[in-house]
A and B are shown apart, each in its own frame.
Chain A
């Protein structure tokens, strides 16, 4: 982890409000793992004040050039400021940060993505393909427009769901998860889940995993101030049993953002 300068190679609006950002980073930038994030200065002025944490969609290495990719939606002041940064703009970031997905899953990985939460799972899927590991990719979004990156999923079996039925199954990706589990011949010994998306979906996936004894890693999202474990501003509430003796709040930035989904108290996580 270091503070490094970066510059915008591309900041393209793929679908209304959804952007793919490519940032060139120095040659010495540590190779990030899927699920790790960077803490990005989204503008060169002091407004917005704080950096924004972004999970990585990918890491590109070509010759001596390294770049990180971020898939983001405009949802607030930070992402709005970021969306107006032109090609060539110099920014800086701290990273790579946090704990990513387990890099070498021992069981069949079932990747479960909701909306823009697909980003770190596309990164994970690519890594699995590089290692010639088969996987299952279940992806749900509101409509076909938001199914970002589906053509990029190779080496895995892909199933889609949309709320409006414009592509794939009409309904929640959770149904795909249940169906896959019932018909795929999986057991907790030979399959595990990696998920990222809205916390409501993660809660449902975690509950399903917990009920069936399935190992489940979820990538969490939330506001962060320091992102290095110092300020304690990004607490993750845990179930009583997992918190141990009394309350304990792991910091999402250093003990996450990828965590065991079955110990997170989703009711208390905003």
Chain B
């Protein structure tokens, strides 16, 4: 029996739950010869901003212990440039396309959501309210539940596409922000964006990144990310898209077990472009080994002993099938 890997994010049907995260794969074309786009669920584009951005001064990336710090600063051609030069590329991709957008204020978010929806290339929009590298407004909308509500409320009526709010882990209670997005019409939340981090050169006594601080990704953050996904999955009924340090195919299974409906592969793809495809394969073989018919039955299927019995990670998932029948 071929296990069913199909999942739904709002009205978006994904043939499997493995996406490539924003900022990793550009607009797909850059990696077309290295990543099998036919095999994966979809890609999330580089974030589009209202106006073109040159990005931050170098250095923008530095490798740290089992991780990578970046301060790219959303270098992108802006909405008009995106519509003109990137949309034709995206139309040719053989997988779902989630377009990531980021505005400096609510009006820009609205213009972006309208502009992207109108052109009809996106299968969903990821609302990046969590970039740590674009100045003070970057983290404003996802560190304050009221401001997250303000953005989501404003953009919700402007599109019928699924809206995915991308959250920062750099908050005290991420579940509150997720719940705020859910209450204002988000179809899903994706998390985590990078953790704010820093690298220092003690010889020169200078920060290594041009912007002093940046965002940490890679295997170093996986345990942190799993905990955030777990926390959010218990707090909301909408699907959670989990990411943060997925480096081996088994990591994707872990994110689904703690409550992710889909996962995004990020930094590790730079080292291993075959990773997203390997994650799809591993999910299939994991389901076969566990004798589970559908990946949906795996979502939040983590066994957590507690005084009240077993806690389900994701409340939005209905009956759990055949748990415990693993051979």
Contacts and interface: CB of A to CB of B under 8 A. Distances in A.
B59 A51 contact: no
A139 B290 CA distance: 63
A270 B54 contact: no
B58 A269 contact: yes
B57 A268 contact: yes
Contacts of B52: 246
A189 interface: no
B26 A231 contact: yes
A1 B58 CA distance: 26
A2 interface: yes
A46 interface: yes
Nearest to B74: A232
A198 interface: no
A57 to B, nearest CB: 23
B272 to A, nearest CB: 8
A235 B58 contact: yes
A227 B273 CA distance: 12
Contacts of A222: 58-59
Contact of B72 (A232, A246, A270): A232
Given A77-B63, A232-B72, A247 B54 contact: yes
Contacts of B34: 2-3, 94, 228
Interface in B43-64: 46, 52, 54-63
A136 to B, nearest CB: 32
B31 A232 contact: no
Contacts of B273: 3, 94
Contact of B60 (A46, A227, A234, A269): A234
B60 A49 contact: no
B270 A229 contact: no
B268 A235 contact: no
B96 to A, nearest CB: 18
Contacts of A268: 57-58
B69 to A, nearest CB: 10
Contact of B58 (A225, A247, A270): A270
Contact of A233 (B33, B72, B247, B271): B72
A225 B61 contact: yes
Interface string B28-39: 001101100000
A237 B218 CA distance: 27
A1 B29 CA distance: 13
Interface in A47-62: 47-51
Nearest to B56: A235
Which of A78, A223, A229 gathers the greatest number of chain B CB atoms within 10 Å? A223
Contacts of B168: none
Given A249-B54, A249-B55, A268-B58, A235 B63 contact: no
Contacts of A231: 23-24, 26, 61, 70, 72, 270
A226 interface: yes
B271 A50 contact: yes
Contacts of A232: 46, 55, 60, 72, 75
The 9 closest A-B pairs by CB, nearest first: A230-B26, A247-B54, A230-B30, A233-B61, A232-B75, A225-B270, A228-B30, A233-B60, A225-B61
15 contacts: A49-B66, A49-B267, A49-B271, A94-B273, A222-B58, A223-B59, A223-B61, A223-B63, A224-B61, A228-B34, A231-B70, A232-B75, A248-B54, A249-B55, A249-B58
